[in-house]
Amino acid sequence: MEFKESNRLRKEFNDRIPGGAHTYAKGDDQFPEGMAPYIVRGKGCRIWDVDGNEFIEYGIGLRSVSLGHAFEPVLKAVTDQLRFGANFGRPSTIELECAEEFLSLVDGADMVKFCKNGSDALDGAIKLARAYTGRDLVGMCASHPFFSVHDWFIGTTPMAGGIPRALKELTTKFYYNDLASAEKMFAEHPGEISCVILEPHKYDDPADNFLHKLKDLCHKNGAVFILDEMITGFRWHLNGAQKKFNIVPDLSTWGKALGNGFAISALTGKREIMELGGLKHNKERVFLLSTTHGAETHAMAAAIATIRFYKQNNVIERLYEQGTKLEVGIMKASNDLNLKDKVAVLGPPCCSVYTTRDQNNQPSQLFRTLFMQETMKRGLIMPSTIISYSHSDADVAETVEKIHEALVVYKKAIAEGIDKYLEGRSVQPVWRKYNNDMPDH
């Protein structure tokens, strides 16, 4: 497999686009040196790069393309809609159709506001919570890795250049499955916390009724309870992880798989709070998610087609089934090679990730790089093990076979030293304060 054209394009991308990509998770520094392909097309679970290389993709549009690339029923709905125009000076009727279709999925949600990305939906949720409570602080679950591109979240990371200190001080933290940390947070900021934000689930199941106890704590302290379903929505359960864990939040935010890769996200929840952004109250007006492109008609069409396909085709069950086959296959390969303490699959099968540990069983970016290097050489793009509806049994079987081969190299690197097998620099964590040495830049 050659990356000649991609390697030529890398300089041009980085000369014209800061970071060479529009999402840090897609950046060159996330891929092995000299193996960061530029993509020209995708179909189902496969993608093709500018050098003509074909890959089975796991990660799949940063988890947004849950049905598959260029998925016919969604594609048809989008192209049909495009013929009628994308954006008008008044709402298009498809916005109501999309709102009704979406609200049919979410228990306890009375209204919805659509926008283009998850960060904006969360921003809207925070604004509503602040307006509703008259408080400034946000209580964020620090066990969860990412919520938003906006200052309230990025200000909490090591990459907080350009964010005023005053804004950084408005976000406080608690931890998942650690009710005491949330109690402490509320006790340290009495009457100041407007909302609590967390993903309903990640890798650890909620223990000892954590979600319900947190919601009660939140309400006892007069704060709004917000669940971020960006990843869990359209994967854990057709009605969101909130349904799976039988909890109704005050507000929830959705995106990613909602439009099978097309740009649409949603803020939804109780009328009493959502209506603050509306015309039917006498309180101070809240400027809630008013954007030029927020209701682009073809994105609405994508969401409607996606939701209908999910309803008619047991998509969630298939994501779990195919994800389980993948997990079982990888774990068998890992076990057979006596690597199960090093390479293991984590998280629910509908949306899993994997570990790459070194000879001392410590998490290792170097071994992650080696794993990616060896899987990419064999036609897999695998920053994670996220499955889609389009991954067939044959795709999964081919993947497992190739992972077995890659793990043979991994095992040799454990025994003989990674330097002998790693062909370039290590991948880098996104969250770093400075650009570390990147010899390929």
Ligand X SMILES: Cc1ncc(COP(=O)(O)O)c(C=O)c1O
Tell me: does residue 231 bind ligand X (CB under 6 A). Answer: yes
Least separation, in Å, of the C-beta of 148 and ligand X? 6
Nearer to ligand X, 201 or 391 (CB): 201
Nearer to ligand X, 224 or 230 (CB): 230
Query: Applying CB under 6 A, which part among 112-120, 159-167, 183-191, 218-226 lies near ligand X?
Result: 112-120
Residues numbered 122-161 forming contacts with ligand X, rule: CB under 6 A: 122, 146-149
Instruction: Give the residue nearest to ligand X (CB).
Output: 118
**Own/partner pairs for 173-177, CB < 8 Å, 24+ apart?**
173/139, 173/140, 173/141, 173/142, 174/139, 174/140, 174/141, 174/142, 175/141, 175/142, 175/143, 176/141, 176/143, 176/144, 176/202, 176/204, 176/206, 176/210, 177/143, 177/204, 177/206, 177/207, 177/208, 177/210
Let me know how long the chain is. 441
Please name which of 75, 111, 57 lies closest in space to residue 375, comparing C-alpha atoms: 57
DSSP string, 94-109: HHHHHHHHHHTTSTT-
Query: Applying CB under 6 A, which part among 14-22, 80-88, 111-119, 319-327 lies near ligand X?
Result: 111-119
Tell me: does residue 349 bind ligand X (CB under 6 A). Answer: no
Least separation, in Å, of the C-beta of 254 and ligand X? 10
Query: Applying CB under 6 A, which part among 115-123, 187-195, 294-302, 412-420 lies near ligand X?
Result: 115-123
Tell me: does residue 21 bind ligand X (CB under 6 A). Answer: no
Tell me: does residue 119 bind ligand X (CB under 6 A). Answer: yes
Among 109, 230, 258, 427, binds ligand X (CB under 6 A): 230
**Number of residues binding to ligand X, judged by CB under 6 A:** 15
Nearer to ligand X, 23 or 104 (CB): 23
Cα–Cα dist 53/43, whole Å = 14
Nearer to ligand X, 229 or 395 (CB): 229
Helix (H, G, I), strand (E, B) or coil at 354: strand
Least separation, in Å, of the C-beta of 206 and ligand X? 16
Least separation, in Å, of the C-beta of 226 and ligand X? 11
Buried b (16+ CB within 10 A) or exposed e, 164-196: eeeeeebbbebebbbbebbbebbeebeebbbbb
Cα–Cα dist 11/441, whole Å = 7
Tell me: does residue 228 bind ligand X (CB under 6 A). Answer: yes
Residues numbered 307-326 forming contacts with ligand X, rule: CB under 6 A: none
List the structure tokens of 197.
Answer: 């934000």
Tell me: does residue 171 bind ligand X (CB under 6 A). Answer: no
Q: Calculate ∠ Cα 153-202-330, nearest 5°.
A: 125
Tell me: does residue 383 bind ligand X (CB under 6 A). Answer: no
Nearer to ligand X, 29 or 228 (CB): 228
Looking only at Cα atoms, what is the longest distance across the chain? Answer: 72
Helix (H, G, I), strand (E, B) or coil at 170: coil
Tell me: does residue 374 bind ligand X (CB under 6 A). Answer: no
Query: Applying CB under 6 A, which part among 187-195, 216-224, 228-236, 406-414 lies near ligand X?
Result: 228-236
Nearer to ligand X, 113 or 325 (CB): 113
Chain centroid, CA 29 distance in Å:
19
Nearer to ligand X, 28 or 229 (CB): 229
Tell me: does residue 117 bind ligand X (CB under 6 A). Answer: yes
- Binding-site ranges for ligand X (CB under 6 A): 62, 117-119, 122, 146-149, 199, 228, 230-231, 255, 265
